[in-house]
């Protein structure tokens, strides 16, 4: 995902998000690493990441647990603590192995205005307002 600053971009795999400078092709800065010390303790992976279209210090990423995290890079260079969490709340005990698979977000995209995030999982599209983290505004 290219940054609106015109100088940097991010790349992501299952466990990490890296920040790159367009002028420095042989070095990146790790801004998020979800790899546990013991891989048997791995509970979720990164599924998508994108910079905010107008605020160069903000990015969002999604996970296999169906969550979206909005990060402000001005708060911390290493983003282990997210600034805002978006998830759809479920009734206690209703989560199973199959509902976790279905809830896994496969992709996210910011709207052009940067106020909304569109997420896609296996069954639905959801529209999120970044000012309302209580749940999606449309499904």
Inter-residue contact 9 to 56 (CB < 8 Å): no
Which residues are paired to 127 by β-bridges?
118, 138
Q: Which residues contact 103 (CB under 8 A, 6 or more apart)?
A: 65, 66, 88, 121
Q: What is the DSSP string of 16-39?
A: EEEEEETTEEEEEEEEEE---SSG
Per-residue pLDDT tens digits for 70-125: 999 888 666 666 678 999 877 666 667 677 788 899 999 999 999 999 999 998 99
* Domains of the chain, CATH where assigned: 8-129 (2.130.10.10)
Name which of 28, 31, 27 is nearest 51 in CA terms. 31
Q: Is the pTM of this model over 0.75?
A: yes
């Amino acid at each position: 995902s290219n940054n609106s600053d015109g100088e940097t971009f991010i790349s992501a795999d299952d466990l990490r998000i890296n920040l790159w400078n367009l002028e420095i092709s042989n070095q990146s800065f790790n801004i998020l690493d979800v790899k546990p010390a013991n891989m048997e303790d791995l509970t979720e992976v990164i599924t998508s990441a994108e910079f905010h279209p107008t605020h160069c210090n903000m990015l969002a990423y999604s996970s296999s647990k169906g969550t979206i995290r909005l990060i402000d890079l001005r708060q911390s260079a290493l983003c282990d603590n997210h600034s805002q969490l978006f998830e759809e709340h479920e009734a206690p005990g209703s989560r199973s192995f199959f509902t976790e698979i279905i809830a896994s977000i496969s992709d996210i995209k910011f709207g052009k205005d940067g106020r909304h995030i569109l997420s896609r999982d296996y069954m639905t599209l959801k529209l999120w307002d970044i000012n309302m983290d209580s749940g999606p505004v449309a499904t």
